[in-house]
Amino acid sequence: MTEQKKLYLELYDQLAALQIKHNVCNIYCDSQGFHCGKNRFCCTDCDHLTESGCRIRSLYCKIWFCPECIVTTEYRSYITEAINVIAKIKEHNIPIPCREEIQ
């Protein structure tokens, strides 16, 4: 595994932990699948979403939020903590392919 891949996964894990901590999307699962507390669950059409959750680790999905989320207190709390991680992504020139995990 390359150093860039290691760093990518480390930064992903940090952002994923913050996303869970702040529950920005209010994601929940019931007998009909995954949902969020907003109008539409953004991941619904993603090929990587399975019955047990997402099968890849994509930084893009940890830094992009729908317009309904970015006006919430939860999002403001998340971004306040996440900004340092996001700065490391830029500092190390980590690529952020849309809905793909870095190779």
Q: Which helix (H) or strand (E) holds 81?
A: helix 73-91
pTM of the model: 0.81
99 within a domain of the structure (yes/no)? no
**Total domains in the fold of the chain:** 1
The pLDDT tens digits for 60-79 are: 888 888 888 888 888 899 99
101 within a domain of the structure (yes/no)? no
* Higher pLDDT, residue 13 or 50: 13
Q: How confident is the model at residue 15 (pLDDT cuts 50, 70, 90)?
A: very high
- Span 12-34, mean pLDDT? 86
Contacts of residue 89, Cβ cutoff 8 Å, sequence gap at least 6: 11, 59, 63, 96
84 within a domain of the structure (yes/no)? yes
65 φ, ψ (degrees, to nearest 5): -135, 150
* Higher pLDDT, residue 101 or 93: 93
pLDDT at 18: 92
* Residues of the domain holding 66: 3-91
